[in-house]
Amino acid sequence: MQETGSGGSEQEEPEELPEFQDLKVRGRSVRTWGISVIVVLLAISAAFGGLKKAGSETPQVDAGTAIDAGQFAVTIQRVVIVNDLKPLFTPDDGGVLIAVVTKLKVTDDTGTTPPSDLIRLIGVPGVKDTDVPLGTTNLRDETMNPVLTPDAGEDVAYVWKLPKGAKLPTQVDLTVQGYEHEDESILDHHEKWLPDAVVADSTVAVKDNRK
């Protein structure tokens, strides 16, 4: 005899809900939408990350290659070590001089002296990376800190001291500073060129001219 009544009936199992990742939105699963969004975000991130990386990298430029530094066209020609450059520059007792010889051309329509921060030696024993040179000289007439005229390329040497006992480098790393033109400076409301970003790095062999 079959039993009747609620006491003997089995409870129905609740209807299973679909897993979140299996839900459909416009015919596509949430999982698919999520993957698509991640792919798009990664693509955008990669694009902008690539731009930032490219913008933050300084070009490595070989000696003999013209560099656009804004106010100047700069070509690193050579780096030499000398005993002295009398009467313009003299090392400390037992030391020597190191000079970066450049070809400089003013791109502006106003003449100017070579700025002291245009060239920096990097990682040279006895010279701090922030050390300004003793000065500059025009090799044509051996004038100190010469005035350069527009569009006339001149061979200009930047000179530093190397102290006694410093290890003399066989090659040096250096940077070239760039300059940006301001129509009206916020400091004095005059047109001028101001330091911007470093526009080039270079690694140059050093020639020992003491002999």
Render pLDDT for 43-66 as a digit per residue (tens, 0 to 9). Answer: 444 444 444 444 458 899 999 999
pLDDT at 33 over 60: no
Prior bond of 169 cis (ω within 30°):
no
Q: Predicted confidence band at 175 (pLDDT cuts at 50, 70, 90)? A: very high
pLDDT of residue 24: 55
pLDDT at 30 over 50: no
pLDDT of residue 192: 87
pLDDT at 162 over 60: yes
Which residue bears the tokens 């990669």? 46
* φ, ψ of residue 17 in degrees (nearest 5): -85, 145
Q: What is the pLDDT of residues 98-147, one digit of tens each?
A: 999 999 999 999 999 999 999 999 999 999 999 999 999 999 999 999 99
Rounded Cα gap, residues 158 and 77, in angstroms: 12
pLDDT at 74 over 80: yes
pLDDT of residue 121: 98
* φ, ψ of residue 39 in degrees (nearest 5): -60, -45
Prior bond of 14 cis (ω within 30°):
no
Closest CA to 133 of 151, 152, 157: 157
Helices (DSSP H) in the chain: which residue ranges? 30-56
Domain ranges of the chain: 65-208
Rounded Cα gap, residues 74 and 168, in angstroms: 25
CB 69 within 8 A of CB 118: yes
Rounded Cα gap, residues 205 and 122, in angstroms: 13
For the chain, the residue count is 211
CATH number corresponding to 65-208: 2.60.40
